[in-house]
Structure 1
Amino acid sequence: MKPRAPWLEAHASSPAKKRFLVTMLAIDRTSYYAIILAMASMTILVTAQVFARYVLSASIDSADELSRLFFVWAIFLAIPHGIKIGIHVGIDVFVGLLPRAVQRQLARLMALASALVMIALVWLSLGAVADKWQQLMPTIPVTAAIFYIAVLISAGHSLLHLIAQMLLIEPLPSAPAAVKEGATS
């Protein structure tokens, strides 16, 4: 019998690790598609606003606010994907001189420190969401807390990836695998 997810078997050495990876994959894929949706929505809205303004001599009242909202969501949803694969600003001249074993332990220590920062960010963003919940955005009847909800989700998602790094769990790809022409499942 063919395993349902052979690509997962190579990554999971225990049932708990396998569940963690499957959960992370679901979160990553959901985030991946939400980023695409936010970017597409922002692009369509800005294009429509430019068309309306310069061709129709009209304006979409909420275009600036909504495009800013889509941009913020796209950026904050993308941050955990960068953390997952180590794409961040860093200066590693000194670290590069250290032995590999020390580099790995230092990376785990930095993941722990970053996880602590993410825990604080989750807590603070929960407070910000609660504080801004009653306030509405100027041009649309939506809570202004929606900006802070993006920060909350980003911090929580980033925390999960940092936990995976501390536990030395290899991440799975966020993007769906490309289907080869002529390939069958």
Structure 2
Amino acid sequence: MAPALSRILARADQGARLLVMAGAALMVAVVSAQVVMRYVFNGSFDWADEASRIAFVWTIFLAIPLGIRDGSHVGIELLVRRFPPRIQRLLARVMNGLAALMLAVVCVTSVRVAQMTWSERLGSVDLTSSVFFLPVILGAAHGALHLIDLALNPRDPAQ
């Protein structure tokens, strides 16, 4: 991996990991507080559903690049594993490059949609509805960088 790309990905991974942990903790805290409010105090927070949904979306989309990095996403390799290692590496490069291109399209499209919906507000929290597109943008860009790295430096097929 190129030293500059390696440093960028290491920092992005560290930041994503921290944000994923914070998002998961926020989800647990908000949902737990909401359950206590409903069943113990017979009331609720108006913003709890919206806040937990935002935390969920951020957590999921920021975790996707970490799964790409670790190779933990589902893959069907029944046919590919029958090819010689050289062909497997070539296919891995091509597929990772195509996936990086797809994530670049997702990133650019998400930026455009976020710009178009920026003025729309959420119902119970005074935030732009584009708050749901920001993690898609960040996750797609981060994931595309990991896929570019994998296209340039494919893993050993024996792994």
Same fold per TM (> 0.5)?
Answer: yes
After TM superposition, give the deviation of residue 95 of structure 1 in Å: 0.4
Paired residues, number: 155
Matched, 1:136 2:121: yes
CA distance in 2, matches of 1:37, 1:157: 18
Alignment-mate amino acid for residue 115 of structure 2: A
CA distance in 2, matches of 1:137, 1:28: 29
Give CA-to-partner distance per residue, 1:63-90, whole Å, 9 cap, x none: 0111011001100000001111222222
- The match for 1:125 is 110
After TM superposition, give the deviation of residue 134 of structure 1 in Å: 0.2
CA distance in 1, matches of 2:92, 2:154: 13
CA distance in 2, matches of 1:129, 1:166: 29
After TM superposition, give the deviation of residue 116 of structure 1 in Å: 1.0
- The match for 1:113 is 98
**Unaligned 5+ runs, structure 2:** none
Give CA-to-partner distance per residue, 1:44-74, whole Å, 9 cap, x none: 0000000011111110001011101100110
SS at structure 1 position matched to 2:126: coil
SS at structure 2 position matched to 1:145: helix
Aligned ranges for residues 1-185 of structure 1 at < 5 Å?
Answer: 17-168=2-153
Q: CA RMSD in A?
A: 1.2
**Unaligned 5+ runs, structure 1:** 1-11, 171-185
Alignment-mate amino acid for residue 110 of structure 1: M
CA distance in 1, matches of 2:12, 2:132: 20
Larger Rg: 1
After TM superposition, give the deviation of residue 123 of structure 1 in Å: 1.1
After the TM superposition, which parts of structure 1 deviate over 4 Å for at least 4 consecutive aligned residues?
none
SS at structure 1 position matched to 2:59: helix
User: By percentage of residues, which structure has more helix?
Assistant: 2
Identity of aligned residues (%): 35
CA distance in 1, matches of 2:5, 2:81: 31
